[in-house]
Structure 1
Amino acid sequence: MNEDYTNITPSREECVYTSCYCEENVWKLCEFIKAEKPDILGEVHAVFISNDNRMIPLWKQKSGHGDQPVVWDYHVILLHASRGQSWVYDLDTELPFPCPLAQYAKLAFRSERDLKPSYHRKFRVNPADSFLLTFASDRSHMKDDEGAWRMPPPPYPCLRTPDCTMNLDDFISMDSNVGSGQIFTLSNFIQHYTHT
């Protein structure tokens, strides 16, 4: 661990956070970095984790129970890759904030050796500046068939671009022909961003 590393976001307690809206929490972190530390924005990425089945196990999540993983349809983390080191910012984890990627991978992703292929994770890595410009969500995925909220929405307006109100599925998709960013398998993602 690099003792010289400086947190690039507010403390966990001071971050804008809404439970079950991880993509918007990460968007808000990117927005903060662009406003307060624009010189490092190019080192920051929004990482969508999912797979074709939309079933991905993650350990060390606040909503987990003991050593059992939480199986999400998708999850989003912020990745800061700088000078050969990478740090994960995840407001939903029990792990440190931020957490070195190698430690996060070992404890939250774990190995896929004993996982059924249907649970293998893929990663869509989007540069933060691109994510801020292109991401849009009308939050419709968080409403049930009657239009009621499954979880209370963030207090601020929906995130949108000048020409789009909803493209969340493009970011969750792990089809390289859809959306933006680069797709990685778990092993490729760790190898690429831990520089081992």
Structure 2
Amino acid sequence: MTTPTLELPLSSSVATPLDVSQFHHTPNYCEENVYLLCKKLCAGGAADMEGSDLFVVFITNEKKQVPLWHQKASQRADGIVLWDYHVICVQETITVQRKKGENSTPLVLDLDSTLPFPSPLPSYIAETIQPSFQLFSDFKRFFRIVHAPIFIRSFASDRRHMKDSVGNWISQPPAYEPIVAEDGTVHNLNEYIEVSPADAARSIGVDLIDEVFTQKLGVLVSENQLEEFFSLV
């Protein structure tokens, strides 16, 4: 049996829906789900072969309390969930539009969202992040943006964070083996989800854009900088 080829438009600012069921999803293991998502998008032709048009985005804060709307795990009509952290993929829709000097709209792939898959970044921010909603400071969200090729090489998780104090699983893990980084590291998830407001970018500029293509942990931006960042990549 052959694996279906995934295709995304080269130049449309309107996202072409993908079949979300084609992608592996284990509840509460969003970081591993996105890791596999990136690899499948690359292998299936829906992204650059090396993943150069893909970015992994960790959404979290110091308190590990980040409200996001339109989440499948929610029991509420508005779909709100208070995650300790969440991970999504953002794809830059490049090539034809960029060659013409036109603006392109990044696409968000969130395997836990009830929104269209993928969704244009502005729509995702408005519906899922809801920046106009007044939040207490403890719920202020930060976004660690990591270039997918670096993430695929560097990320590792032995799933220790999903066990309680006596070693029982908080949530059942995937059946496949834990992800090990190319350098042999077995766990570094904590490095991606630990954030401090002091580390967030003060402004979005060329230097920050350059950093995301070289730094293992990417760059950290606030929610009012997220769309600006991807407009400059």
- The verdict on a shared fold, with TM-score over 0.5 as the criterion, is yes
**CA offset at residue 85 of structure 1?**
1.2
Say which of 12, 15, 25 aligns to 1:17. 25
Cα deviation per residue 1:64-84 (whole Å; 9 max; x = unaligned)? Answer: 111262111100000001232
Cα deviation per residue 1:104-163 (whole Å; 9 max; x = unaligned)? Answer: 111110025510111011000011100000000000111111211111101110001232
CA contact (8 A) 1:138 1:158 kept: yes
Correspondence for 1:50:
60
Say which of 169, 180, 193 aligns to 2:217. 180
**CA offset at residue 51 of structure 1?**
0.8
In structure 2, how many angstroms separate the alpha carbons of the residues matched to 1:115 and 1:69?
13
Structure 1: tracts of 5 or more residues without a match: none
**CA offset at residue 49 of structure 1?**
0.4
**CA offset at residue 194 of structure 1?**
4.8
Match of 1:130, SS state, is helix
In structure 1, how many angstroms separate the alpha carbons of the residues matched to 2:16 and 2:114?
20
Correspondence for 2:116:
96
Cα deviation per residue 1:168-191 (whole Å; 9 max; x = unaligned)? Answer: 011112244996101110010122
| Counterpart AA for 2:23 | C
In structure 2, how many angstroms separate the alpha carbons of the residues matched to 1:109 and 1:158?
30
2:205 is equivalent to residue 168 of structure 1: no
Say which of 81, 86, 92 aligns to 2:92. 81
Q: How many residues align?
A: 192
CA contact (8 A) 1:59 1:69 kept: yes
**CA offset at residue 6 of structure 1?**
4.7
Structure 2: tracts of 5 or more residues without a match: 1-11, 95-103, 201-214
CA contact (8 A) 2:154 2:216 kept: no
| Counterpart AA for 2:82 | V
In structure 2, how many angstroms separate the alpha carbons of the residues matched to 1:13 and 1:68?
20
Match of 2:92, SS state, is strand
**CA offset at residue 59 of structure 1?**
0.5
**Bigger Cα displacement from structure 2, 102-111 vs 174-183:** 174-183
| Counterpart AA for 1:149 | W
**CA offset at residue 54 of structure 1?**
1.0
Distance 1:136 1:25, change over 3 A: same
CA contact (8 A) 1:55 1:71 kept: yes
Aligned residues: percent identity?
33
In structure 1, how many angstroms separate the alpha carbons of the residues matched to 2:167 and 2:189?
18
CA RMSD of aligned residues (A): 2.1
In structure 2, how many angstroms separate the alpha carbons of the residues matched to 1:113 and 1:67?
13
2:122 is equivalent to residue 127 of structure 1: no
CA contact (8 A) 1:137 1:158 kept: yes
In structure 2, how many angstroms separate the alpha carbons of the residues matched to 1:104 and 1:194?
15
Return the structure number with greater strand share: 1
| Counterpart AA for 1:183 | L
Match of 1:137, SS state, is coil
| Counterpart AA for 1:191 | E
Q: TM-score, normalised by structure 2?
A: 0.76
2:136 is equivalent to residue 116 of structure 1: yes
CA contact (8 A) 1:44 1:128 kept: yes
Q: TM-score, normalised by structure 1?
A: 0.90
